[in-house]
Amino acid sequence: MENTEELIQNRKYAEALNALENHRQLQPDNTEVLSKIGYCLSMTGKINDAEKYFKQASKRCDNAQTWQQYGYILYQLGKLTESIKAIKNAIKLDSKDILNFHQLAFLFSKKGDFEKSLYYIDKAINIEGKAENTGSVDLLIFKAGIYENINKDLALDIYFSLIERFEDDPFSYDKTANIVIDRFNFSKALNNLNSTNSEYNNATLLLRNGHTEKAVKLYKKIIKEDKHCYPAYLGIAQALYEKKFGIVEIEKVNAPVGISELFRNYNQLNDFEKNIINASVAPFANFIGKLNSQNSQFVIVPVDVKLVDYPDNSYLCDKDYQNMPFSTLRGIGGDNGYVGVERLRDILWDIPDNIPFKPACAAHEYAHLVWCLLDSKVISSFKQLYNESKKNNSFISNYSKYNVEEFFAEYYAYYVRMLSTNKPVPDNPVIKLIQSLQD
């Protein structure tokens, strides 16, 4: 079995499966062998086959890790109740493993039982240390996420405490922005690209012109003076993500025909930002004329400008979009696209391929505009690919999981990122379908 363990450690799952099958022939009821076969099958994407072996192993299993892995397999198959039972069995065998309690909290949150989710994440935090003061960042962030569903004030308290401890963590600022947004007085400055707040205005200009370090310092000063200043949180998150990942150069792209008609304030952008827009629409530049003929619009705005602040959208003030009031939305695709000017630089971030986080905001929102022009046959093809990804849990980013429209927009943004940085485009059926639309 030592050789098998080495193969698994080196991710040689096919070879490990051959060796394990030999062991299984000699010991058909050996729970260790059965669970290792299940694990290797799961790592090669054969989730249903993996479940059969874990189920057989669980009949006489007294190993916490096996129950934990079995619970994860059941979750992947959508069997939440059975997954919870498996993780509880793992806890009976090992009551000090933080991951078991974290997993249980996650599963109950998926079921919408936030009280039980909170109970188990607190258990994990208590094992990690002394409650919130010394708990790990991941556990506290998860707890804040639970509170977002039941008590946003308590969620905000956790994010504030994380920012105090880790003042250069972009994720905490990003999450905080989503909660403090309702407490911020939005500006009505729609004739230019900057807010009426002078310091925030200066920080945004610094960020737009690539002076990231200076922008971060000024954003921190603004937050210290007003901890509910929503745009400062989103602005500093952008700057810190850029610092964290680094940036890449994008190709010079000529302005497509009709670009300034569609992007209503395109001419207010600096040359660098114009090129980002050019690159973001270039693969689908063939749709610009059609969008313009339908009087579509795309506006680059400060993050503190509401969708309904723009005069052309005033009629949306009392209307909802998918149970969300338009007045609460900062950006949306469709007939009217919006992007915060601070978000234009997302496309530059040099994010490793193994991170399921692929922002390219202008390209993403432009894809939503194009989606409105696609015929039912094309949409049906994307739905089929989305459902296949859903079945295999093989999404390009976390955001692409939400629905087929986001799936399409994320893949288009990814395609733009590859083209604009002169990287090889992967052989992928979704990308191929997007490429077919360029004609």
* pLDDT (average), residues 332-348: 74
Q: Which residue has the tokens 């039980």?
A: 116
pLDDT confidence bin for 236, thresholds 50/70/90:
very high
- The answer on 284 and 236 residing in a single domain is no
- The answer on 316 and 364 residing in a single domain is yes
Domain end position, chosen among 245, 271, 294? 245
Structure confidence by residue, pLDDT tens digits, 4-53? 777 787 878 888 888 888 878 778 778 888 888 888 888 888 888 889 98
Count the Cβ atoms, other than its own, within 10 Å of residue 281: 28
Q: For residue 331, what pLDDT is reported?
A: 61
Residue 430 CA to residue 396 CA, distance in Å, equals 10
Q: For residue 181, what pLDDT is reported?
A: 77
Judged by average pLDDT, the poorest of 202-206, 277-281, 352-356 is 352-356
User: Phi then psi for 324, rounded to 5 degrees?
Assistant: -115, 125
- The answer on 179 and 42 residing in a single domain is no
Is residue 159 situated within a structural domain? no
- The answer on 297 and 427 residing in a single domain is yes
Using only C-alpha atoms, the chain has a radius of gyration, in whole angstroms, of 25
Is residue 132 situated within a structural domain? no
Most confident option among 69-83, 173-187, 342-356, 385-399: 69-83
* pLDDT (average), residues 416-435: 90
- Higher pLDDT pick, 165 / 48: 48
Whose CA is closest to 86, among 60, 102, 111, 68? 68
Q: For residue 161, what pLDDT is reported?
A: 85
- Amino acid identity of residue 282, one-letter, is A
- The answer on 280 and 235 residing in a single domain is no
- The answer on 264 and 239 residing in a single domain is no
Q: Check pLDDT > 50 for residue 133.
A: no
- The answer on 276 and 213 residing in a single domain is no
Is residue 277 situated within a structural domain? yes
Q: Check pLDDT > 90 for residue 162.
A: no
Q: For residue 335, what pLDDT is reported?
A: 59
Domain end position, chosen among 44, 73, 93? 93
- The answer on 394 and 280 residing in a single domain is yes
Helices 198-208 and 212-225: crossing angle in degrees, nearest 10, is 160
* pLDDT (average), residues 93-115: 92
Is residue 108 situated within a structural domain? no
The whole-chain average pLDDT of the chain stands at: 85
- The answer on 421 and 301 residing in a single domain is yes
Q: For residue 131, what pLDDT is reported?
A: 43
Q: By residue range, what is the domain housing residue 239?
A: 170-245
Task: Output the domain CATH number for residue 16.
Answer: 1.25.40.10
Count the Cβ atoms, other than its own, within 10 Å of residue 300: 23
pLDDT confidence bin for 280, thresholds 50/70/90:
very high
Whose CA is closest to 17, among 35, 47, 40? 40
* pLDDT (average), residues 307-336: 72
pLDDT confidence bin for 283, thresholds 50/70/90:
very high
Is residue 148 situated within a structural domain? no
Residue 18 CA to residue 258 CA, distance in Å, equals 60
Residue 49 CA to residue 103 CA, distance in Å, equals 22
Residue 178 CA to residue 234 CA, distance in Å, equals 8
* pLDDT (average), residues 414-429: 89
Q: For residue 325, what pLDDT is reported?
A: 77
Q: For residue 191, what pLDDT is reported?
A: 58
- The answer on 384 and 323 residing in a single domain is yes
Is residue 336 situated within a structural domain? yes
- The answer on 219 and 278 residing in a single domain is no
Is residue 215 situated within a structural domain? yes
Per DSSP, 256 falls in state P
Total domains present in the chain: 3
- Higher pLDDT pick, 83 / 398: 83
Is residue 114 situated within a structural domain? no
pLDDT confidence bin for 197, thresholds 50/70/90:
low
pLDDT confidence bin for 193, thresholds 50/70/90:
low
Q: For residue 118, what pLDDT is reported?
A: 93
- The answer on 269 and 229 residing in a single domain is no
Q: For residue 88, what pLDDT is reported?
A: 93
Please enumerate in sequence order all residues whose Cβ is within 8 A of that of 7, keeping only pairs 6 or more positions apart, or say none.
Answer: 13, 15, 16, 19
Q: Check pLDDT > 70 for residue 132.
A: no
Strand 336-340 to 297-301 pairing: parallel
Domain end position, chosen among 47, 75, 93? 93
